């Protein structure tokens, strides 16, 4: 994505400020928003709209293009195929698979041909990781006990902290890949 982003704006320097919108989107999400702010998606759009003197609709178009539409086109090339196969195999054996992401995820899941039992994004839960409120809402929704859940993530500073704050066991996706592939493919 980084190469695509750089080449896209190298050829369109008049649209370069869109890169800063993307940067600030991520910064706002990671630094400012948490469970105490309802409708933080709209608040974030309004903040970026004000900051860049652009309509919230235009900001949303830029974000949708780079967070959903363009990634969806290349996700099949980037997905950890062994992890996806292991997750699907566990799911076939009755293990519930719930996806929790800080970003919109449903279209991305469709792009990699994965149907979890449920999926949530931070916007729906009004909570960004590592704040554990979103994960606790998911546990409550499914009446799950924290010590019966395994949270698999790729960022200990976000996913790991969130899991531990909710009292849930955490496993890095690389460790999951190694364990699952040995069991399923070994």
How many independent structural domains does the chain possess? 2
Q: The domain spanning residue 120 has which CATH number?
A: 3.40.50.1000
Q: Could you tell me the residue range of the domain that residue 51 belongs to?
A: 2-77
Same domain? 144 vs 59: no
Q: Rounded to two decimals, what is the model's pTM?
A: 0.77
Average pLDDT over residues 24-43: 75
The per-residue pLDDT for range 80-113, each reduced to its tens digit, is 888 888 888 888 888 888 999 988 888 888 888 8
Task: Evaluate whether 154 touches 172 at the Cβ level (below 8 Å).
Answer: yes
H or E stretch covering 145: none
Bridge partners, residue 120, by sequence: 100
The C-alpha atoms of residue 63 and residue 83 are separated, in whole angstroms, by 28
Question: Encoding tokens for residue 46?
Answer: 């309004």
Q: Are 17 and 93 in the same domain?
A: no
CA–CA gap between residue 122 and residue 132 (Å, rounded): 11
The residue from 42, 77, 112 where one domain ends is: 77
Q: Assess whether 89 and 178 both reside in one domain.
A: yes
Q: Is a pLDDT exceeding 90 seen at residue 184?
A: no
Last residue of a domain, one of 77, 112, 127: 77
Residues 87 and 177 in one domain: yes
55 and 106: one domain? Answer: no
Q: What is the number of residues in the chain?
A: 186
Helix (H) or strand (E) holding 101: strand 98-101
Q: Tell whether 54 and 20 lie within a shared domain.
A: yes
Instruction: Return the pLDDT at 107.
Output: 86
Q: Predicted confidence band at 185 (pLDDT cuts at 50, 70, 90)?
A: very low
Say if residue 168 is in the same domain as residue 98: yes
Q: Strand, coil or helix: what is 121? A: strand
The answer to whether the beta carbons of residues 149 and 139 sit under 8 Å apart is: yes
**73, 84: one domain:** no
Query: What's the pLDDT at 81?
Result: 82
Average pLDDT, whole number, for the chain?
85
pLDDT value at 186 more than 50:
no
Q: Is the per-residue pLDDT at 9 higher than 70?
A: yes
Same domain, 132 and 179: yes
The answer to whether the CB of 99 falls within 8 A of the CB of 118 is yes
User: Domain end: 44, 77, 110, which one?
Assistant: 77
Phi, psi of 36 (to 5 degrees): -80, -10
Query: Above 50 in pLDDT, residue 51?
Result: yes
Q: What is the bridge-based pairing of β-strands 118-121 and 150-153?
A: unpaired
The percent of residues above 90 in pLDDT, for the chain, comes to 34
Residue 24: cis peptide before it, omega within 30 degrees of 0: no
pLDDT digits (tens, 9 = 90+) for 118-171: 999 888 888 888 889 999 999 999 999 998 898 989 899 999 999 999 999 998
Residues 166, 106 share a domain: yes
- Of 42-51, 59-68, 174-183, the least confident: 174-183
My answer on whether 54 and 85 are in the same domain is no
In terms of domains, do 144 and 179 share one?
Answer: yes
């Amino acid at each position: 994505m980084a190469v695509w982003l750089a080449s896209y704006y190298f050829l369109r320097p008049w649209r370069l400020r869109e890169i800063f919108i993307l940067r600030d989107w991520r910064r706002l999400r990671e630094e400012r928003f948490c469970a105490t702010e309802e409708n933080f998606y709209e608040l974030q759009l309004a903040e970026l709209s004000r900051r860049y003197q652009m309509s919230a609709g235009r900001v949303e178009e830029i974000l949708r293009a780079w967070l959903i539409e363009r990634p969806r086109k290349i996700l099949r090339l980037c997905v950890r195929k062994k992890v996806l196969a292991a997750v699907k195999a566990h799911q076939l054996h009755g293990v519930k698979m719930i996806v929790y992401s800080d970003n919109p995820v449903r279209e991305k899941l469709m792009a990699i041909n994965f149907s979890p039992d449920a999926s949530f994004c931070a916007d729906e839960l009004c909570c960004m990781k590592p704040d554990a409120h979103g994960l606790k809402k998911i546990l409550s929704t499914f009446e799950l006990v924290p010590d019966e859940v395994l949270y698999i993530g790729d960022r200990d500073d976000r996913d790991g902290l969130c899991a531990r704050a909710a009292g849930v066991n955490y496993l890095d996706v690389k460790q999951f890949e190694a364990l699952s592939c040995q069991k399923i493919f070994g």
